[in-house]
Amino acid sequence: MSLHSLQNNRFSVEPARSGLLSELWRLQLLNKHISRESIKSLARQHELAEIEVEGVTSFYHFFHQKPAGKHTVYINNSIISELKGFERIRETLERETGAHLNSVDPSGTFGLFATPCIGLSDQEPAALIDFYPFTNLNALKAKEIIQKLKQGKLPEDLCDAPQDNIRYTPHNNRTLFFAPYERGQAIKQLSGLGPDGVIGQLRLAELSGRGGAAFPTWKKWDTCRTYKDSPKFIVCNADEGEPGTFKDRVLLNNQPGSVLEGMIIAGYAVGASYGIIYLRGEYRWLLTKLENEIVAFHDKGILGSDVGGIKGFNFDIRIEVGAGAYVCGEETALLESIEGKRGEPRTKWYYPVEKGYLQLPTVVNNVETFAAAARLLQLGSSEYLKRGIPGSPGTKLISVSGDCKLPGIYEIEWGMTVAELLDVCGAEDPFFIQVSGPSGECISLKEKYKRISMLDLMAQKDIRCGGSFMIFNSHRDLVHILMNFSEFFKHESCGVCTPCRAGNFIIERKLERLNNGLADMNDLKELKSWGTIMKSASRCGLGKTASNTIIQSLEKFDDYFKARFSETDNSTYKKFNHSASVAEYEQYKP
């Protein structure tokens, strides 16, 4: 049995505070909100000031301090959802539930909220109802769902099982992730290799982090190994929040074993005994599957004590469920969150490998990195190296969405060109492609012969892709896309540093000006300059990358913006919307 060593979803070595998120989840699911009394009693229980518990509660999107309805509906408002009909679904749901967006209907039955990308971009419009997924919505389907819920049917019985949509794997059986899987095959290699050997294999295969930063995995593990503090932790970052990404969802659904094995391998290599999967709240519906997999691992003897028959190697894994905060994908924010705190990134004073979770040595890697590590050990580095291109070996999972015939997961070998990928996914009139999500980079067709690899960070020659690949056709409004991104960052900023908290707000105001036709080239110049300031001065990756797309699109889509906005306006009178400015007062006309 799994969870044998767990009390209240905590390992015995973890302090009580680490259970705070789970307790808040329990209260949220039970009472549909976290009441003042609950906050009071949690504060007493943890010997904290109430404001501290409130600080944690109010940080997370899925924790409500007012009742959020007997059924809580979250509609995704990511840009992909908007393209696929968000507005119609919102209208339908508002009509059917009687709740306005971001509120609860008068009877308290339905709460209707907008939420950023829920990792179902290949089957949008999508929504979560009581955290169960509903995909490919249309007005009729949405209406039926609400009617059935009103009749007393349960969301768990009505929900969809999201398709994996694995559209492409490398030819000649060179798939890495989706080869037939048998539990324990990778772990079998451990005793033969020893910790040095494991890290050596990773090094030979040049495995690098798949969360986006492409940091060499062997280096991370090797550094963590040198620290003597104990216990050490292996944390799996399954907080896949970058809009347009859903590869980790598919991996966790399709290959949960590979991910667990990867974590166990890491534990063996660095000398850790505890693993924690930080599963984003949006993927709560995957929780049972993962827990079952953990149980199966225990039953097979590859979790628990003397894992895989290796004397003295004890390893266990638990799952922490996030609660709706994009910034928790940042590794130090994620660690804070597991500690039961607000998910605010730490400064880079220490790296997690030295002082991570609970200030103890911690390896944080992405879901895909762990899965790749497991497959790598199973295959051996020489076999692994046959995939990809020199300097960037292996394969990469890419989540394709937007204006194409076949949205879904593409396992490409590093080195595939953008043009090839556009071709296989059936892209329709592609014009603006957003790679690695809103914080990544946008590319135009001029760059379609660039390779996708991890060779070049600055994207001069190649394009690095963290996983999200969103295609927009030539009829899409770029300002609208930028506004969607900017609103996303405004809400998802953790609020700690000025340039990100205020900057994203300011950028949004400026984009509104663009959208209202009040802007000229000078406004565009200012946007670029302000974006650059945010990039230079922000505290963590969120703020540093939030303005990427704005800066790049103004450069790469210069013609588009030039055609749409007039040259710098030096006329004596500024563009001013006179009727809008007096509209409110006109309501008092007798």
Partner 1 sequence: MATCTFWIDGKKYEAEEGSNLVDAAKENGVFIPSLCYFKHIDPPLGTCRTCTCKINGKFNPACTESIREGLKVEVNTPELVDIRKALIEMMFSEGNHFCPACEKSGNCDLQHMGYELKVSVSRFPHLFKDRLIDYIPKRMVMEHNRCIKCRRCVEEVFTSDGKRVFMYINRGNDTMVGIDYEQEAKLSESEAENAMKICPTGAIIVRGKSLSIPFGDRVFDLQSSQKHFKHNVIEKPKGANFEKKTIATVSLAGCFGCHMSMLDIDTEILDIAELVSFNKSPLTDIKTFTQRCHLGLVEGGCCNTENIETLKKFREMCDLLVVVGECAIWGGLPAMRNTIPLGECLEEAYLNSVTSEPGENTVPYHEDLPKILDRIYGCNEIVKVDYTIPGCPPSPNHIWKVVRSLLWGEDYSLLYSEFKYD
Q: Which residues bind partner 1 (CB under 8 A)?
A: 47-52, 54-55, 58-59, 325, 342, 344, 346-350, 490-499, 501-506, 509-510, 526, 530, 533, 536-539, 570-574, 576, 578, 580-590
Q: Minimum distance between the CB of residue 458 and partner 1, rounded to whole angstroms?
A: 14
Q: Which residues contact 314 (CB under 8 A, 6 or more apart)?
A: 273, 304, 305, 306, 307
Q: Which lies closer to partner 1 via its Cβ, residue 58 or residue 138? A: 58
Q: Which lies closer to partner 1 via its Cβ, residue 375 or residue 539? A: 539
Sign of the dihedral through C-alpha 44, 47, 50, 55: negative
Q: Which lies closer to partner 1 via its Cβ, residue 107 or residue 347? A: 347
Three-state DSSP at 488 gives: helix
Q: Which residue has the tokens 């506004």?
A: 483
* β-bridge partners, 413: 395
Q: Which residues contact 436 (CB under 8 A, 6 or more apart)?
A: 212, 242, 464, 465, 466, 467, 468
Q: Which lies closer to partner 1 via its Cβ, residue 52 or residue 403? A: 52
Q: Minimum distance between the CB of residue 535 and partner 1, rounded to whole angstroms?
A: 8
Q: Which lies closer to partner 1 via its Cβ, residue 474 or residue 536? A: 536
Q: Minimum distance between the CB of residue 116 and partner 1, rounded to whole angstroms?
A: 11
Both tokens of 129, joined, read 């109802």
Three-state DSSP at 277 gives: strand
Q: Minimum distance between the CB of residue 22 and partner 1, rounded to whole angstroms?
A: 20
Burial of 423 (0-12, 13-18, 19+ CB in 10 A): exposed
Q: Minimum distance between the CB of residue 550 and partner 1, rounded to whole angstroms?
A: 15
Measured CA to CA, the distance from residue 230 to residue 302 in angstroms comes to 22
Q: Minimum distance between the CB of residue 571 and partner 1, rounded to whole angstroms?
A: 7
Measured CA to CA, the distance from residue 395 to residue 105 in angstroms comes to 48
Q: Measured in Å, how far apart are the chain's first and last C-alpha atoms? A: 74
Measured CA to CA, the distance from residue 506 to residue 486 in angstroms comes to 10
Q: Which lies closer to partner 1 via its Cβ, residue 171 or residue 578? A: 578
CA distances from 265 to 244, 372, 397 (A): 29, 11, 21
Q: Which lies closer to partner 1 via its Cβ, residue 28 or residue 493? A: 493
Q: Which lies closer to partner 1 via its Cβ, residue 140 or residue 576? A: 576
Q: Minimum distance between the CB of residue 584 and partner 1, rounded to whole angstroms?
A: 5
Q: Minimum distance between the CB of residue 221 and partner 1, rounded to whole angstroms?
A: 24
Measured CA to CA, the distance from residue 472 to residue 433 in angstroms comes to 6
Q: Which lies closer to partner 1 via its Cβ, residue 48 or residue 433? A: 48
Both tokens of 284, joined, read 């709560």
Q: Minimum distance between the CB of residue 581 and partner 1, rounded to whole angstroms?
A: 5
